[in-house]
């Protein structure tokens, strides 16, 4: 989802195949809001990294949307059993890797390979449900947008209505979506775009505020 600020306020959809394609956009957005973990801990505590633990406390019934990320060494494993073995050795208390998290490891590795502390001036980690919490006055959304891994229209429409208060016209949801992009994916991308604009304006905050940095010097924080 691209929004180019006051000079070009109309949001538009661009489907890119990888993170390098995002960084190569021309003209480049001032802020990239990325719904993927950035910054990988050497060891994982109860509930994952600090960012995951800090945002869950705000999300109530929606906190299950925040998965626990294991340590860097586990994320670098390409075999599920090996990832679980490494995760058990690098977590306290010992914990294996969920299949949901493991399926995201290739994308996390791709981002980690390209991220640098210098890119942090433009690239920020976000989470859609924390973004909705922020736009909803510090209250989690009352309805889920997915039930049993399927999009749930009552929850999606609830989020669409909230986003219409933040610059997304009702007609935006009626346009054709790229193949493979669900209605829930679109509202997630839209709220991330709003949070990117908040970051650009200096209105967003990091969770946690006193974030730590990983072995590469990358901050571990989710913004909203």
Model pTM?
0.93
Per-residue confidence (pLDDT) for residue 6, from 0 to 100:
46
Contact assessment for residue 207 and residue 222, using Cβ atoms and an 8 Å cutoff: yes
Per-residue confidence (pLDDT) for residue 149, from 0 to 100:
86
Peptide bond into 27 cis (omega under 30): yes
Q: What's the pLDDT band for 4 if we cut at 50, 70, 90? A: low
* For residues 131-146, average pLDDT: 97
Q: What's the pLDDT band for 170 if we cut at 50, 70, 90? A: very high
* For residues 32-58, average pLDDT: 96
Q: What's the pLDDT band for 17 if we cut at 50, 70, 90? A: confident
Q: What's the pLDDT band for 9 if we cut at 50, 70, 90? A: low
Strands (E), 6-66: 32-34, 44-45
Write out pLDDT tens, residues 122-133.
999 999 999 999
Task: Indicate the average pLDDT of the chain.
Answer: 94
Q: Which two tokens stand for residue 224?
A: 């909203």
Q: What's the pLDDT band for 1 if we cut at 50, 70, 90? A: low
* For residues 92-115, average pLDDT: 96
Per-residue confidence (pLDDT) for residue 224, from 0 to 100:
98
Per-residue confidence (pLDDT) for residue 7, from 0 to 100:
47
Contact assessment for residue 88 and residue 74, using Cβ atoms and an 8 Å cutoff: no
Burial class (CB in 10 A: 0-12, 13-18, 19+), 148: exposed
C-alpha–C-alpha distance, residues 172 and 164, integer Å:
9
């Amino acid at each position: 989802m691209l929004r180019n600020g006051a000079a070009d306020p109309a949001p538009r959809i661009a489907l890119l195949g990888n993170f390098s394609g995002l960084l190569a956009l021309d003209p480049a957005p001032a802020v990239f809001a990325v719904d993927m973990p950035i910054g990988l801990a050497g060891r994982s505590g109860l509930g994952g990294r600090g960012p995951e633990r800090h945002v869950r406390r705000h999300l109530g019934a929606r906190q299950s949307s925040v998965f626990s990320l294991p340590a860097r060494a586990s994320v670098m494993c390409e075999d599920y059993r090996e990832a679980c073995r490494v995760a058990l050795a690098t977590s306290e208390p010992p914990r294996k890797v969920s299949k949901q998290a493991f399926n995201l490891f290739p994308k996390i590795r791709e981002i980690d390979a390209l991220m640098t502390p210098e890119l942090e001036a433009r690239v920020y980690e976000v989470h859609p449900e924390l973004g909705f919490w922020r736009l909803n006055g510090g209250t989690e959304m009352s309805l889920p947008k997915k039930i049993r891994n399927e999009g749930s229209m009552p929850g999606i429409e609830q989020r669409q209505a909230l986003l219409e208060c933040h610059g997304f016209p009702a007609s935006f949801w009626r346009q054709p979506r790229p193949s493979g992009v669900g209605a829930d994916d679109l509202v997630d991308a839209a709220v991330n775009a709003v949070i990117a604009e908040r970051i650009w304006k200096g209105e967003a905050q990091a969770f946690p505020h006193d974030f730590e940095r990983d072995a590469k010097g990358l901050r571990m924080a989710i913004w909203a």
